[in-house]
A and B are shown apart, each in its own frame.
Chain A
Amino acid sequence: MKRLAKWRLIPLFALLALVLSGCGKPFVSALSPAGEVADMQYDLMKLSTYVMVGVILIVMIIFVLIFVRFKRKDDRIPKQVEGSHKLEIIWTTIPILLLLILAVPTVAATFKLADVSPMDKKDSKALVINVRSHLYWWDFEYPGQKIVTSQELVVPTDEKVYFNLKSMDVKHSFWIPAVGGKLDTNTENINKFWLEFDDKRSNEAGNLFYGKCAELCGPSHALMDFKVKAMSRDKFDAWVTAMQDVKEPQKADTDLAAQGQEIFNQSCIGCHAVTPANKMPETARLAPNLTNFGDRSRVAGILDHNKEELKNWIQNPETYKPGNMMTGKYKELNDQELDAVAEYLMGLKVQE
């Protein structure tokens, strides 16, 4: 008994250390919900955890009592008990009741989360975003606003945002842990759901949420991150207008950037668009739209957003995202050319 008690302490200490080190980060943890969907899911988690901890406690009490009271002390043969109808009825009906307590809110929440009817209404004011997943990057199209961006989703807070999800190659899954559960991007059909970003809690999380791919999709599955910028409706509208104002590719403002733009126009523009009103059909969008690349917070979704990392990435994408579709699609650039392209891309900003 003593030994057992001693061993039991280890996981307890481990748990304590964890609690002290904080319950995950607010921009990525499902345990710090920052929107209506995540709230509902968090409430269900809490409800089920309470019920289940209750069950565990009851089992553990019996378990410990057995350990204390019924260890073999002598050679007696215990009474051979067949069973007990009363007990069996008790431990059949109580779990059924507990499950009912859990099942009712589960079913209610499941239907509520699937309610995307405002999307399909005529003249709907609801914001709809088409999410298309590609091998290791995300394409975000705002059909109502007629703009396309990539890798960084921009959303208004305090309103429901509706999503159409589809994959262009293999199956992925679209997940913003702090804001709500995931939904797969299938290859054969469009999945729809909604999320809501709470303004106050978005602020607390730094207005930048981490999004993830949650379905194994190849070597760089782990690196298929995206970011979500949540902002008030006013700021969002300003961003949309700024994006819409980019009718033509932005002109470079330094010589170096101009040289970069030239190289870009020869080597990169076949796949990467730099205007937001992307008229190409969705299947022809082979690579992330770079219209507002300079405003973003990561290179390729994972690297720090600076010129050095950008040059590293362009020089050898395979090192950073194995299996990506960019490697080998363009001629090798020398240091000076890399510098120029990076200078140009970093200057692609729609907002100050």
Chain B
Amino acid sequence: MSTIAQKKGFGATVWDFLTTVDHKKIAILYLIAGGFFFLVGGLEAVFIRIQLAVPNNDFVSAGAFNEIITMHGTTMIFLAAMPLIFAFMNAVMPLQIGARDVAFPFVNALGFWLFFFGGIFLNLSWFLGGAPDAGWTSYASLALHSKGHGIDFYVLGLQISGIGTLIGGINFLVTIINMRAPGMTYMRMPLFTWTTFVASALILFAFPPLTVGLTLMMFDRLFGANFFDVTMGGNTVIWEHLFWIFGHPEVYILILPAFGIFSEIFSIFSRKRLFGYSSMVFATVLIGFLGFMVWAHHMFTTGLGPVANAIFAVATMAIGVPTGIKIFNWLFTMWGGSVKFTVPMYYAFGFIPSFVMGGVTGVMVATAAADYQYHDTYFVVAHFHYVIVGGVVLGILAGVHLWWPKMFGTMLSETLGKVTFWFFFIGFHLTFFIQHFLGLWGMPRRVFTYLPGQGFDTANMVSSIGAAFMSIGVLVMLYNIIMTSVKNVKVGNDPWEDGRTLEWSIPSPPPFYNFKQLPLVRGLDAYWIEKMDGKKGMTPAEPLGDIHMPNGSFIPFMIALGLFIAAFGAMYHVDKEAWALPVLIIGLLVTFGSMFVRSIKDDHGFHIHKEELQDEKGAKA
């Protein structure tokens, strides 16, 4: 089958990806789309740093700057970091638990296309009258005050892509609960799978508040409601609560899988099992749980009163404990090990000091009374970039290098990877370390310029130079990806040679059914155990038999497309455009019509017969 796929023409390949329900191909779609939005968000970041390099700059106008910062934040969180994390969850998690796909392959594809169309919708705002400009938090009073359709793009775009994320999270939960291979108990799951599990649970509980908030905002902006209109008895602080009840867990949704990636890397390249595995699992769950108890620390200056501020301050500090446990467990995984400094290990090693910096400033901003000074200044900007770039982005870059051979069957260049790392790592610290001080010196965040004579000039220039370094790093990585894809030197099952988990026991890239026979898992680091016993691969848990696979489908694309069309209708309906209402109805018809077709048309999938499997090389009877 895989040889047939390779000989297909370009059009057929595109059609294949438009209709695929295979988790590995969906992972590639997430990687491409997330990577694209990462570049877009990165470009916006570069614009920000150019504008702020010198005082009183006029590279962009004040209004355009607010659009850029809003889209930088929104794009990076929702359209770059989330899908890139989802790419790895899709590509690796089913392999790590020994499954042939996720529980609901159709829903998986639907989740991707919803995210994709939501993201495209949001970014079309640039060309259709202006992007949202109330910050990625879109606080209600400013959002309602904002002219044009920018905020409508934000509300509708995030709503569509949010549904995609939510169903994706549910899908991962069901997959991990139900589809583990024989012997893969919960406490034998690799840590990346554990973090996927906890992050998915967080998605399940965190996205509904966002959905509620966006719905209220949508009714206010598009249908004349007054949930946030103070003059009509509304209340904008409710938006802040709803947003942060989502927004804080969102940070953990991003960082926990990154922790998972690093846990795999430390273990693989130290040739040691993860130190304190069970406490790592416990810490992950605890961080996820506490993540819901701390949202009001984003609102210390909103005026909730000393009781609320004190409680949320202490709760926030408490998160430092399980995070500290993780840091020390990683360090002691390497301790006594045989540490090989490959590119993924560079990122993992660089992650430790970077993330510890972000963690300790996290405890500092948790100190409510002192946070009155940090809040909404560049100190906070520095803090959360240390956490998100120093944690999530380094994790994603590490994951790209680690799993590239598993996803594409070829290794990224180690030399170019190290060049990327040094540019990115140095640029990152150069950009953001100094911003701690800018904040303490009195520079608020989200300012489109600053006046000279306040002591901000030198530090801003340093920060902008750092951004240039980071950009060079990303460009080198793009070059690396292109060169690697052109050369396309194929690698075997276990290209890093020290793979420990199930994904390294099957070919790179895996066949579309993943496992010819489901593997028997005998403990943590299942593949490592077999290797140490001198075996070449996993012991099968079942005789060779027919494999049931789902059919591809174009319906997920259509369902998402319908909502995309409907969103335009809803938005321009406010302007009394005659065509708006029909477009809204047509869009919804496309969506619900597609769902109807899906419901009434039985699709039983197909079977790969065991004779076909035996014909392929390396089949075991």
**Complex: how many Å from CA A31 to CA B235?**
35
Contact in complex: B139, A214 (CB < 8 Å): no
> Could you list 16 A-B pairs, sorted by A, with CB under 8 Å?
A30-B441, A45-B440, A56-B356, A66-B339, A67-B349, A95-B324, A107-B310, A107-B314, A181-B372, A188-B237, A214-B375, A216-B66, A216-B134, A222-B444, A225-B451, A302-B451
Residues A183 and B372 in contact in the complex (CB < 8 Å), given A21-B458, A216-B142, A222-B62: yes
Residues A188 and B236 in contact in the complex (CB < 8 Å), given A102-B317, A221-B448: yes
Contact in complex: B367, A188 (CB < 8 Å): no
Which B residues touch A49, using CB under 8 A?
A: 364
Q: Which of B458-516 contact A (CB under 8 A)?
A: 458-459, 462
Which A residues touch B532, using CB under 8 A?
A: 77
Closest chain A residue, CB of each to CB of B340: A72
User: Does A215 sit within 8 A of B, measured CB to CB?
Assistant: yes
**Complex: how many Å from CA A81 to CA B270?**
12
Q: List the 4 closest pairs (A to B, CB-CB), nearest first.
A: A181-B372, A24-B441, A222-B447, A83-B276
> Which of B369, B434, B446 lies in contact with A113, CB distance below 8 A?
B369
Closest chain A residue, CB of each to CB of B309: A110
Which A residues touch B313, using CB under 8 A?
A: 103, 106-107, 110
Which B residues touch A18, using CB under 8 A?
A: 434, 437, 458-459, 462
User: Does B13 sit within 8 A of A, measured CB to CB?
Assistant: no
Contact in complex: A28, B454 (CB < 8 Å): yes
**Complex: how many Å from CA A112 to CA B364?**
19
User: Does A35 sit within 8 A of B, measured CB to CB?
Assistant: no
User: Does A132 sit within 8 A of B, measured CB to CB?
Assistant: no
Highest count of chain B CB atoms <10 Å: which of A59, A70, A218, A302: A59
Stretch of A84-92, A227-235, A259-267, A268-276 lying at the B interface? A84-92
User: Does A184 sit within 8 A of B, measured CB to CB?
Assistant: yes
Which B residues touch A14, using CB under 8 A?
A: 430, 433-434, 462
**Complex: how many Å from CA A350 to CA B352?**
60
Besides A11-B426, A18-B437, A219-B448, 19 other A-B contacts (C-beta < 8 A): A17-B458, A29-B442, A31-B441, A49-B364, A59-B327, A59-B331, A66-B339, A80-B273, A83-B329, A84-B332, A99-B320, A112-B369, A182-B375, A183-B303, A187-B236, A214-B375, A214-B445, A223-B449, A322-B63
Q: Which of B237-274 contact A (CB under 8 A)?
A: 237, 270-273
User: Does B318 sit within 8 A of A, measured CB to CB?
Assistant: yes
Contact in complex: A70, B270 (CB < 8 Å): yes
User: Does B305 sit within 8 A of A, measured CB to CB?
Assistant: yes
Closest chain B residue, CB of each to CB of A99: B317
User: Does A23 sit within 8 A of B, measured CB to CB?
Assistant: yes
Distance in angstroms from B79 CB to nearest chain A CB is 21
Residues A28 and B442 in contact in the complex (CB < 8 Å), given A59-B327, A70-B335, A70-B338: yes
Closest chain B residue, CB of each to CB of A222: B447
User: Does B377 sit within 8 A of A, measured CB to CB?
Assistant: yes
Which B residues touch A45, using CB under 8 A?
A: 364, 367, 370, 373, 440
Residues A87 and B332 in contact in the complex (CB < 8 Å), given A18-B459, A22-B455, A184-B303: yes
User: Does B160 sit within 8 A of A, measured CB to CB?
Assistant: no
Closest chain B residue, CB of each to CB of A10: B426
Contact in complex: B367, A216 (CB < 8 Å): no
User: Does A171 sit within 8 A of B, measured CB to CB?
Assistant: yes
Contact in complex: B142, A77 (CB < 8 Å): no
Which B residues touch A180, using CB under 8 A?
A: 372-373
Query: How many of B's residues come within 8 Å of A, CB to CB?
Result: 99
Residues A216 and B442 in contact in the complex (CB < 8 Å), given A24-B455, A181-B372, A210-B454: no
> Which of B272, B430, B437, B446 lies in contact with A221, CB distance below 8 A?
B446
Which A residues touch B614, using CB under 8 A?
A: none
Chain A: number of interface residues, binned into ranges: 35 or more
User: Does B275 sit within 8 A of A, measured CB to CB?
Assistant: yes
**Complex: how many Å from CA A171 to CA B455?**
27
Distance in angstroms from A21 CB to nearest chain B CB is 6
Closest chain A residue, CB of each to CB of B302: A184
Which A residues touch B370, using CB under 8 A?
A: 41, 44-45, 48, 106, 109, 181
Which B residues touch A92, using CB under 8 A?
A: 321, 324-325
Residues A24 and B142 in contact in the complex (CB < 8 Å), given A96-B321, A107-B314: no
Contact in complex: A71, B341 (CB < 8 Å): yes
Which A residues touch B19, using CB under 8 A?
A: none
Which B residues touch A74, using CB under 8 A?
A: 338
User: Does A175 sit within 8 A of B, measured CB to CB?
Assistant: yes
**Complex: how many Å from CA A251 to CA B312?**
56
> Which of A24, A25, A30, A78 lies in contact with B338, CB distance below 8 A?
A78
Which A residues touch B314, using CB under 8 A?
A: 103, 106-107
**Complex: how many Å from CA A99 to CA B319?**
10
User: Does B543 sit within 8 A of A, measured CB to CB?
Assistant: no
Contact in complex: B139, A171 (CB < 8 Å): yes
Contact in complex: B367, A106 (CB < 8 Å): yes
Q: Which residues of A contact B (CB under 8 A)?
A: 7, 10-11, 14-15, 17-18, 21-25, 28-31, 38, 40-41, 44-45, 48-49, 51-52, 55-56, 59-60, 62-63, 65-67, 70-74, 76-84, 87-88, 91-92, 95-96, 99, 102-103, 106-107, 109-114, 165, 167, 169-171, 173, 175, 177-178, 180-184, 186-189, 191, 210, 212-223, 225, 302, 322-323
Contact in complex: B230, A30 (CB < 8 Å): no
**Complex: how many Å from CA A56 to CA B324?**
11
Which B residues touch A106, using CB under 8 A?
A: 310, 313-314, 367-370
Contact in complex: A222, B353 (CB < 8 Å): no
> Which of B139, B321, B422 lies in contact with A216, CB distance below 8 A?
B139
Contact in complex: A29, B357 (CB < 8 Å): no
**Complex: how many Å from CA A109 to CA B306?**
9
Contact in complex: A11, B442 (CB < 8 Å): no
> Which of B142, B276, B328, B331 lies in contact with A171, CB distance below 8 A?
B142
Distance in angstroms from B585 CB to nearest chain A CB is 35
**Complex: how many Å from CA A169 to CA B324?**
43
Contact in complex: A214, B236 (CB < 8 Å): no
Distance in angstroms from B136 CB to nearest chain A CB is 10
User: Does B152 sit within 8 A of A, measured CB to CB?
Assistant: no
Distance in angstroms from A278 CB to nearest chain B CB is 22
Closest chain A residue, CB of each to CB of B469: A10
Closest chain A residue, CB of each to CB of B328: A91
Contact in complex: A48, B367 (CB < 8 Å): yes
Distance in angstroms from B604 CB to nearest chain A CB is 45
Closest chain B residue, CB of each to CB of A113: B369
User: Does B371 sit within 8 A of A, measured CB to CB?
Assistant: yes
**Complex: how many Å from CA A228 to CA B103?**
62
Distance in angstroms from B207 CB to nearest chain A CB is 24
**Complex: how many Å from CA A65 to CA B352?**
14
User: Does B450 sit within 8 A of A, measured CB to CB?
Assistant: yes
Contact in complex: A82, B373 (CB < 8 Å): no
**Complex: how many Å from CA A111 to CA B302?**
15
Contact in complex: B337, A78 (CB < 8 Å): yes
Which A residues touch B146, using CB under 8 A?
A: 218
Distance in angstroms from A204 CB to nearest chain B CB is 15
Contact in complex: A71, B447 (CB < 8 Å): no
User: Does B534 sit within 8 A of A, measured CB to CB?
Assistant: no
**Complex: how many Å from CA A40 to CA B230?**
35
Q: Which of B356-407 contact A (CB under 8 A)?
A: 356-357, 360-361, 363-364, 367-373, 375-377
Which B residues touch A10, using CB under 8 A?
A: 426, 430
**Complex: how many Å from CA A22 to CA B61?**
31
> Which of B320, B352, B368, B448 lies in contact with A110, CB distance below 8 A?
B368
**Complex: how many Å from CA A96 to CA B322?**
10
Closest chain A residue, CB of each to CB of B70: A216
Which A residues touch B145, using CB under 8 A?
A: 169-170, 218
Which B residues touch A48, using CB under 8 A?
A: 363-364, 367, 370
Contact in complex: A81, B336 (CB < 8 Å): yes
Contact in complex: B455, A28 (CB < 8 Å): yes
Distance in angstroms from A176 CB to nearest chain B CB is 9
Contact in complex: A215, B376 (CB < 8 Å): yes
**Complex: how many Å from CA A72 to CA B426?**
25
